[in-house]
Structure 1
Amino acid sequence: MEFPEPPECPVCLQPYESTLTIPRVLACGHSACEACIGRLPNAFPNTIRCPACTQLLKLPKPLSSLPKNIDLLRFSSLLLNEDPPLQPKTANSLQEPKSDSSIFSTAVWPREFYLYWSSWILPENSVSTEPRNSGYNFTDDFCYLLHGCLTKCLRNHDVMSSGNPAEKEEVCLLKLGISIHKDENYCKFKCSYEVKVLRVLYEMAYRERNELDLILHANSRHHGVCKVYGFWYCEDANSVYLVCPKFETNVSMFTDLISDEKGCIKSWAMVGLDICEAVINLHLQGVSIGCFGASCFGMDEFGHTHVDICETLVAIRRFRKMITCYENLAVGLENENLTECLFVSPEAMFGFLKTEGVQIDYTVDVWSLASLLLWILIGEPFAQEMKVYLRYIIEFDEMRCDLFGWYTEWMERTVNLFERQLKPEFIPLSDIFCKCLDFNPENRSPVIELWKSLREVIVKPDVDVLTNLKQGQQTIY
């Protein structure tokens, strides 16, 4: 003969009783224990969803103002007080509910947050990663990219970015966070794939999440910024990743190519034009990277240059780690390969060193961009000068030297290296680079001015279609 079971809370599944699991009646008529009602996620301020019928209900304060369900308490007490032989009780039938909120649903974010970010979550089995060594430490891979490929074609409803990524397309993955919650092993509910992704995003600092939002929307609106497919959760690493397409080459390949080529200035200017356009498109979306390196610009199969978001973010992480981990930063710079490092403006460097009173804007990208173009053209001599510059910026406070005077001399040496690579007719090009490398950010030229100067190397002003069109418009109007 089967005996009736006592009524239980629909959330924690514990039988109702008068001390720990007091049933409270909600406005819709359903009941849940007082402890669970207090821990239910708030869809909107002072509201909850009924765990039984999912209606939105007003949440009174205090919770004890909700009426007790006397009938459920009486019925439960009758069944729980029966003789043990008539109704054997399981070991956990009267288990005290855990006071920690982790036994309940961890979806504590607002509904607007869910609707906004859930559209960027990739399907669970959409990415396959390359195998790693058995001793691989997943907690140390924030400064490295994970590589893999798509296992299915992502349709428009699966991914927010423009275009339909094809199956077997190679991708790179940037680690955003680890999905770990205290006492997760003792949770009564197993978090879904979607919840694990959203929890990492929700626990990010507001500034980091806002920057991520800018990157996501910049990628789909303009040429020159690599696509971002979305977020993917890796079960093995228990981590959430940002998924982007993988580029086979980056602009560092042009250093040897241009140095071996006759008449290399025009080839170099062509590369510079593409890079400038990619950065301009970022600025149009309100995104400033802060510093660029050779690995930050990837090239697609058509030879077009794109800002590689994953490579850029991981390069910044490496540089920040180098600054924080090396006791002697000068030694750390000697151990770094500059092609994997960044070209960092003075004010950006002070920002990395957490110097107070430093303001960062789009001009830091101008400085970094000009330095990258000089490195592509000049090569190793400029790399050595860059190491000298970084070492001095780091140590000048201890030496108490005239930073501005030293920087002026350093910039003159750099420009001299540049002018040696130029033919006489291109010497005026050095003026725009002097402005881009100016110590004072307010004196630097915008990226569009650098773009115009590089364009004049390829197309003379008297035969430039854009110039003629502008002159024609001025004549007409």
Structure 2
Amino acid sequence: MEGIKKIKPIILIFKRKIKKKSRVPSKECKKKKKMESAPSSSQDQDDDLPECPVCLQPFDPISAVPRVLPCGHSICHVCLPLLPPPLSSLPNSLRCPSCTQLVPFDRQVGPASLPKNLDLLHFVCPNGDKPSSRTRAEVSASRVAEVSAQKPLLWSHQNLLSFWKNFVLPENLVILGGNGDGGIKFGTFGATIGSPWFCKEKQRISLLQVKAESFVHDKSEWYQASYIYRMMDLIEKLGDKAREELGFLLEASSRVPYGISKAYGLWLDLTGKQGSNLYMVCEGFDRKMEFSSKPADEQSMFQVGVACMEFCEIITNLHSEGISCGCLGFECFYLNKHGHVILSLNEVIGLCRRLREVSFEGDYTSLSDVEILLAPELLTKLHKGPIKEFSTEVSVNYSSDVWCLACLVFTHLTGNMQFGTELMQNLDKDFVQFYEDWKKKVLNKMESVLTGTKFESLMGIIESCLCYEPQKRPHAVNLYRAFQNVLLGSCGEDEVTSCDLLSAKESSNYCLLLSYIHLVDLETRDERGRLEANILDVEAGKRGKDGTAHGGMHDATLIGHRDCVTGLVIGGGFLFSSSYDKTINVWSLQDFSRIQTLRGHEHRIMAIITTDHVSESFCITGDAGSGIFIWKISSPLESEVFKSWYEHNDWRYSGIHSLAFSDSGYLYTGSGDKSIKAWSFQDQSLVCTMTGHKSTVSCLSVRDGILYSGSWDGTVRLWWLSDHTPLCLLGANEVPSNLAPVLSLSSSASLAASTYENGYLKIWRNEMLVRSEKVKAGAIYALYLEQNLIFTGGWDKAVNIQEVSENELEVEISDVASIKCDAIITSLIYWKGKLFVGLSNKEIKVFHMQF
């Protein structure tokens, strides 16, 4: 029975969601119909009564008494004890079904431990009348709180990375070699890698340039985007259509059983002089296939026939995956170590790119010098205009490849490699009649070679492959079967020539010739020239009077402190910075000028926060002598201390190391005496002292009615803000030898993060550790969590920017960029596209980075 009771509220919530989705007419539509048809009745007004978000039962003073949770939402007294605790270690707590906030709930006392919502009861029964009874099917779900999804600051990182992560090759894996045509380079793998690539060291590869970076935003001395971020950024910039086609090609190439070069994935070359270049990496081969200039004789006829059958098999395999080439060339074919024919995908795409470049230039006569096999229907279209113009009008089907395949067979049998030149040179004439005359000469040449051989029976199907009309050409598989039957001797002449001359498929397919990948490359090639001057400006570091670099990422330096900067906060439209020099500097957020310096502390300032209380803004600071100072943020700014007082504790353990403020009007201080003190902001009286930590409380954070505290004892503790009692200890099961001092804490809407002296970053969700990763070699003094971005800085003098992607099961961290600084980073904050970094060398750096 207990198990059924625990499951019951979950089932009710699930039913509520289904009911909400299945309701077709909206409330507005219902109200409009009621107003038009009849006057409103008490029954109609009852539809808008508030209800319990769990069971959907309207609140009433008898069967569904509303009880108010500490977060402010109400739940009926029947559902309250049925809601399970979020963790076994937190039996006296529950999560509000409306806002998911963790709130205390004494299960021994039960619903009576929470107050009734008298305002709701008065609204439901204003005159003390007995509430009307309704079935749950009649209850509206209008009061169910909707949590809006957070919009990521970056591109759709999670969606891109989830698909492309298996196609992203490691950064330092490729060793570049020579260059080829059509944006192709050659190289080798510098190391052996396993799943999902399974490549050996020094394996030969070919690289096809897919895209060059349209602008270089990280050519600066201090900003360096991560490899994976730049990879995803370029993939995103390809556009939806090109990105879809590239992903399809990579997936399909891995499924082709035989005959084409294996596509390993994508690799980003970071060594380019004018930005990063994105490449598709495919298997490479040393031996190109050689086409003899002489007709095949009787001794070599069998080997030539096997090669022709392999041509047919390759094209058939591509067509089975929905891929057509559109054009082919003799340079696209290689031989593997076993002597079998292999088609290089990169060479085919490079050949298509060269054809596109010629079509864009408009000089179609130059095609005669390019060894491209192009079907007559495409030649005529090409003569009328660039490929880009007719790519949306013409569906290049598989029959175009069959024509190219027949030309390959003819070339390999007869040794004639320049028979297509005549077609390109005579496009201005009556091309149809000229083509028929050309076709007769080709067939006569082939007949003279094949007559008297076992391949003589292939004349019929080869002639059908060269038909001018695409729909009359057979499939590539028919030609493959014809060669197979002749070589194996399994059928007679009648059976060979009776192959079905099926019409070419009219269904759409992915054609390499009409790929959007080529269009992207051609468009960005023009952009590079226009942006070259801007790139050089950033590389040269040209700066204005304000110290910012023009043309890319910007930075500025704020100088005003005489010792290490200890804290940075923003409040009241100003930037506040604290320092060991016992002062607080106030800076303008518009031009970063220093507006004022606040003095009053007699010891080093260790902590600083800003807060809004009773429609006024305040800056609160704490120093190493246990002094607490409150500064009023007004216009104009006041230089005098608004209020100040000191903690009374043992001088050996004195010092305010951290501060936090709650909406209820309490100021919390983390001290060197291992305690957390709660102060009334109204009269500065000590409300209570929270103990539990075994060392200095180094950082504090407030979120959703819970106080997070980190200590040098290596633990993070949670406290209820309602009564200042302990909630739980995070990471209580960790081995003591693995503990390191907690140096900083930060929290967002759904996550909390902590950093440690040993360089670890830990992320917590729903009071559970979901990610623990060493992100730096030394201590991490500064941490800032901004929705799905994490900024960390510390001993290594660099700011790491990482992106958090989460789902119901796990949380992943991926590097976005790193920023180099000149000194140890002690504090940082991100605000509206600007990153403020406090350093140990007295400076404050401002980096402009709009994600």
TM-score, normalised to structure 1, is: 0.65
Alpha-carbon offset, residue 423 of structure 1: 2.7
Cα distance in 2 for partners of 1:293, 1:169 equals: 25
Cα distance in 2 for partners of 1:60, 1:169 equals: 44
SS of the aligned residue for 1:431 comes to helix
Cα distance in 1 for partners of 2:188, 2:300 equals: 36
Do the aligned residues in 1 keep the contact of 2:296 with 2:304 (CA within 8 Å)?
A: no
* Aligned positions of 1:78-477 closer than 5 A: 107-130=154-177, 143-157=182-196, 159=197, 164-181=198-215, 183-185=217-219, 190-221=224-255, 222-237=257-272, 238-251=276-289, 253-256=290-293, 259=295, 261-325=297-361, 327=363, 329-330=364-365, 332-336=366-370, 338=371, 342-352=372-382, 353-354=386-387, 356=390, 357-380=393-416, 383=418, 385-393=419-427, 395-396=428-429, 401=430, 403-425=431-453, 426-462=455-491
Alpha-carbon offset, residue 360 of structure 1: 1.2
Do the aligned residues in 2 keep the contact of 1:370 with 1:437 (CA within 8 Å)?
A: yes
SS of the aligned residue for 1:226 comes to coil
Question: Taking every aligned residue pair, what percent have the same amino acid on both sides?
Answer: 23
Do the aligned residues in 1 keep the contact of 2:319 with 2:398 (CA within 8 Å)?
A: yes
Do the aligned residues in 1 keep the contact of 2:178 with 2:186 (CA within 8 Å)?
A: no
SS of the aligned residue for 2:337 comes to coil
Do the aligned residues in 1 keep the contact of 2:296 with 2:414 (CA within 8 Å)?
A: no
1:335–1:363 CA distance, 2 compared to 1 (3 A): closer
- 1:61-98, Cα deviation, whole Å (9 max, x unpaired): 9xxxxxxxxxxxxxxxxxxxxxxxxxxxxxxxxxxxxx
Higher helix residue share: 1
Q: Which amino acid aligns with 2:164?
A: W
Cα distance in 2 for partners of 1:362, 1:124 equals: 37
Do the aligned residues in 1 keep the contact of 2:178 with 2:185 (CA within 8 Å)?
A: no
* Aligned positions of 1:35-114 closer than 5 A: 58=148, 107-114=154-161
Consecutive unaligned residues in structure 2, runs of 5 or more: 1-70, 72-146, 497-851
Alpha-carbon offset, residue 298 of structure 1: 2.0
Q: Which amino acid aligns with 1:223?
A: Y
1:131–1:218 CA distance, 2 compared to 1 (3 A): closer
Cα distance in 1 for partners of 2:307, 2:150 equals: 64
1:300–1:431 CA distance, 2 compared to 1 (3 A): same
- 1:146-192, Cα deviation, whole Å (9 max, x unpaired): 111101111005x3xxxx21001111111111124365447985321
1:438–1:166 CA distance, 2 compared to 1 (3 A): same
1:248–1:60 CA distance, 2 compared to 1 (3 A): closer
SS of the aligned residue for 2:279 comes to strand
SS of the aligned residue for 1:197 comes to helix
Consecutive unaligned residues in structure 1, runs of 5 or more: 1-27, 29-56, 62-103, 133-140, 468-477
Alpha-carbon offset, residue 211 of structure 1: 2.5
Alpha-carbon offset, residue 263 of structure 1: 3.5
The residue aligned with 1:75 is none
Q: Which amino acid aligns with 1:190?
A: Q
Cα distance in 1 for partners of 2:377, 2:167 equals: 34
Cα distance in 2 for partners of 1:369, 1:299 equals: 17
Do the aligned residues in 1 keep the contact of 2:291 with 2:415 (CA within 8 Å)?
A: no
Cα distance in 2 for partners of 1:443, 1:205 equals: 36
Aligned-residue CA RMSD in angstroms? Answer: 3.1
Cα distance in 1 for partners of 2:280, 2:421 equals: 32
SS of the aligned residue for 1:153 comes to coil
SS of the aligned residue for 1:176 comes to strand
1:143–1:210 CA distance, 2 compared to 1 (3 A): same
1:165–1:440 CA distance, 2 compared to 1 (3 A): same
Alpha-carbon offset, residue 306 of structure 1: 2.2
1:347–1:314 CA distance, 2 compared to 1 (3 A): same
Do the aligned residues in 1 keep the contact of 2:218 with 2:225 (CA within 8 Å)?
A: no
The residue aligned with 1:68 is none
Do the aligned residues in 1 keep the contact of 2:176 with 2:185 (CA within 8 Å)?
A: yes
Cα distance in 1 for partners of 2:325, 2:240 equals: 18
1:223–1:408 CA distance, 2 compared to 1 (3 A): same
Alpha-carbon offset, residue 110 of structure 1: 4.9
Q: Which amino acid aligns with 1:255?
A: S
Alpha-carbon offset, residue 391 of structure 1: 2.1
Alpha-carbon offset, residue 369 of structure 1: 0.9
Do the aligned residues in 2 keep the contact of 1:265 with 1:422 (CA within 8 Å)?
A: no
Cα distance in 1 for partners of 2:340, 2:309 equals: 10
1:131–1:460 CA distance, 2 compared to 1 (3 A): closer
Q: Which amino acid aligns with 1:208?
A: A
Alpha-carbon offset, residue 202 of structure 1: 1.4
Cα distance in 2 for partners of 1:351, 1:114 equals: 39
Tell me which structure has the larger Cα radius of gyration: 2
1:226–1:351 CA distance, 2 compared to 1 (3 A): farther
How many residues are paired up?
340
1:462–1:291 CA distance, 2 compared to 1 (3 A): same
Do the aligned residues in 1 keep the contact of 2:305 with 2:483 (CA within 8 Å)?
A: yes
Cα distance in 1 for partners of 2:470, 2:296 equals: 34
Cα distance in 2 for partners of 1:193, 1:235 equals: 8
Higher strand residue share: 2
Cα distance in 2 for partners of 1:233, 1:144 equals: 14
Alpha-carbon offset, residue 351 of structure 1: 4.9
